[in-house]
Amino acid sequence: METLPEILVLEILSRVDDSAAVACCRAAWKTFNTLSPGLHSINLQWPLSSYIESRSRVSNASSSSQITSPLKTIFLNLLSNLIVVESVRIGVKNLPRDLLHVDVEDKANDLHLTDEDFIMEWLPRVSRSLKSLSISDFWAQSCHNLVELELKNAWISVDNLNQMLMVTSLTLESMRLTDKELTQLNQSFPNLQVLNLIDVRGLKLPKIYLRHLKTCHWTITDAPPFLNVIAPNLITLRIECKKPAAVRVEAPSLTHFRLSIPHADPLLVKRYGTIKTVWIEASLIYPLLAHFRYTDSLDHLTLDSLGLIKGPFGIFKFTLQNLFNIFPNMTSLCFRPRAWSAFEVRGSIFGIGMEGLKTFCGYLMIVNLSLTLSWVACVLDQCYNLVDVSLLIHRNVSSNVSKDFMRTCMLRWPKLNWRWGTWEEGKEDCWISDEDLMQMSSDMKPEFRCVKKQRS
């Protein structure tokens, strides 16, 4: 064998799947040891029986330091010997079906392979070249008390996944799941209170059915045709879809709902008697709002558009009265930038006065000063019990135009509490300080400072 070409020896060594066997080969033959740094993968599976036996031998020892579990040490030694690592598989094998009843009752973490300190000791070294990663933890040490789990940038199978009863918060981001309907996820994490599914792909007719869920954020890039959320204790729900989809929500405790979707057909929101806040971002806004008809509990409404094709309110003239017919007790209304632009295009100045609205916020472009002023007047004159008005002007609007617009508004409606700011797509909103606002009201200085940034 000493005459074998090195490339052939490396090929032989790379076909040995078990890294423990590779270590034996390195010890047995110098050539194997010399060429082993050329390997690109580690597969180290530690028998649970060996671990339990080692603990039994020292169960009567005075110090737990006599207990040795070389899995982590062997793994780190193997890793340090490789130049480029593309695949890592490390875990505990021969696990019993009922992992919760494994006869290990101490607080050891010898086989806690997702321990943060252990992970940070080796993962940064291989992150640039790593293509495949598999870690199988020992439940009795690592997952029994786990309450928060976050996984990103992976393709995982959840078949035969054991229940994780203690986990109350789960985040999956940039993932591909084999659980197309989320059936296994619902079963494996029955006590979730917080669920974040951010760009999770591979779904088909997914349904979230979690009794204890309180907060859910679901962002979908390749939207399946139908989304279903059933959660009796859900309070906050945010759904963002890049493609049209049918959405069904059954959440009697729902209080805050944000939906961003090109088109939802149909949108079915059942049993939402406590809803207080709604944020709708869509290509066609009004058809979605119609599904909330006669929602007496809603207090704050935010509208934004994903485009101006035919106008987000539909092909008919839109009035504020349309909104108050749906949400008769609404006290706060916000028109985000594209929604306000569409309101100027497809809205109607005529309408019946609304006395319930107390707070209004608008994001303005001011392409035509007189036109924008007329639409602001439409809102402020019809909602005659307004108290607080916040208007943000696009940063590209000249300071002279902004100054004239602000002066006109404050002179025409002097009893309102005014708040002014600037906005720009993709940047934080910038609000004018009270000091500069007072100066502006007296001498209309064109320059002012931005003192507070916020996202609406």
Of 145, 162, 179, the one marking the end of a domain is 145
Residues of the chain with pLDDT under 70: 1-40, 48-70, 93-112, 114, 116, 136-146, 154, 160, 162, 264-265, 271-273, 307-317, 348-353, 438-456
The reported pLDDT for the residue numbered 64 is 46
The answer to whether position 64 is within a domain reads: yes
Domain holding 432, by residue range, is 288-456
Of 145, 163, 185, the one marking the end of a domain is 145
The reported pLDDT for the residue numbered 260 is 92
pLDDT (tens digit, 9 = 90+) per residue, 158-193?
776 767 888 899 988 888 888 899 999 999 899 999
pLDDT (tens digit, 9 = 90+) per residue, 192-249?
999 999 999 888 899 999 999 999 999 988 877 788 999 999 999 999 998 888 889 9
The reported pLDDT for the residue numbered 9 is 58
Question: 309 and 169 in one domain?
Answer: no
Q: Please give the tally of structural domains in the chain.
A: 3
Question: 407 and 336 in one domain?
Answer: yes
The reported pLDDT for the residue numbered 316 is 54
The reported pLDDT for the residue numbered 166 is 83
- The CATH number for 352's domain is 3.80.10
The answer to whether position 136 is within a domain reads: yes
Rg (alpha carbons) of the chain, rounded to whole number: 31
The answer to whether position 75 is within a domain reads: yes
The reported pLDDT for the residue numbered 429 is 92
The reported pLDDT for the residue numbered 142 is 53
The reported pLDDT for the residue numbered 109 is 57
Question: 299 and 448 in one domain?
Answer: yes
Question: 183 and 134 in one domain?
Answer: no
The reported pLDDT for the residue numbered 102 is 46
Is residue 406 within 8 A of residue 376, CB to CB? The reply is no
Instruction: Quote the pTM value.
Output: 0.70
Of 96, 111, 145, the one marking the end of a domain is 145
Contacts of 331 (CB under 8 A, 6+ apart): 299, 300, 356, 357, 358, 359
Question: 178 and 154 in one domain?
Answer: yes
Question: 363 and 302 in one domain?
Answer: yes
The answer to whether position 2 is within a domain reads: no
